[in-house]
Amino acid sequence: MNHLASASTYYLAVRDRLRTEENDIDDVTLADTVEGLTDLHEILAAVIRSALTDEALAAGLKGRIKEMQDRLARLEERAAKRRQLARGVMSETEIKKITAPDFTVSLRPGTPSLVVVDEAVIPEAFWEPQAPRLKRQEVVLELKQGRAVQGAQLSNPEPVLNVRSR
C-alpha cells in the first residue's frame, strides 16, 4: 500500500503542475495526460483485482461454511434422534443403566419444564420490560422525505465504488 500512496502523491503532483503550466487545458485532456504519465491507474486496477479475488474467495467460503453448517445440523439431529431412541427403549424396557467400555448411560427422572398455556393471564410481575429501540429505517425515511426529526440528520453521502466484472 505504500507504493499506492506514493503513486497517488505523484499523480496529484503531476496533475497540479499541468494545471498550473497549461491554464487552458480541459479536464478530459488533463486526465488522459496524467494517466499516461503515471502508473496510478494500473496500481488501482491491481487493487480492485485483488479485492475481486478476495470477494470470490469469501463467497466460496460462505458456500462451504453453509454446507458444513448443514452437515453439522444433520449430525446433531441424527445424534438427538439416536439418543431419543435409546431413551425410549430403555424407559420401555425399564433398563436403568448400561455400562460399556467407553461410556456409561443411565436413565433418571427428568425435571419438569415450563408449558405456557395462556400468556394473557400470566401476572405482570413475571414479564420483563424491554428498553425502547430506535426505528432507524423510519427515521431515515422521514429525513429523506424532507421532514425534520429532532436529534437526527442525514450524513453527507460518501462516494460509492462500483466495480462491474463480466
pLDDT in tens, 39-96: 888 888 888 999 999 999 999 999 999 999 999 999 999 999 999 999 999 999 999 9
Q: Tally Cβ neighbours within 10 Å of residue 95.
A: 13
User: pTM higher than 0.85 for the full model?
Assistant: no
List the domain range (segments joined by +) for residue 78. Answer: 2-109
Between 63 and 16, name the one with better pLDDT.
63
Average pLDDT over all residues of the chain: 90
* DSSP state string for 127-140: ---------HHHHH
Query: For residue 152, is it within any domain?
Result: no
pLDDT value of position 23 = 82
pLDDT at residue 10 is higher than 90? no
Contact 152, 135 (CB under 8 A): no
Is 120 part of any domain?
A: no
Please state, in angstroms and as integers, the Cα–Cα distance from residue 50 to each residue in 42, 45, 97, 126, following that order. 12, 9, 60, 55
pLDDT in the model for residue 1: 55
Question: What's the whole-number mean pLDDT along residues 105-114?
Answer: 89
Asked whether residue 158 is assigned to any structural domain, the reply reads: no
Sign of the CA dihedral running 10, 11, 13, 18: positive
- Establish if 38 belongs to a structural domain: yes
User: What is residue 121's predicted lDDT score, i.e. its pLDDT?
Assistant: 93
- Total tally of structural domains belonging to the chain: 1
Is 61 a domain residue? Answer: yes
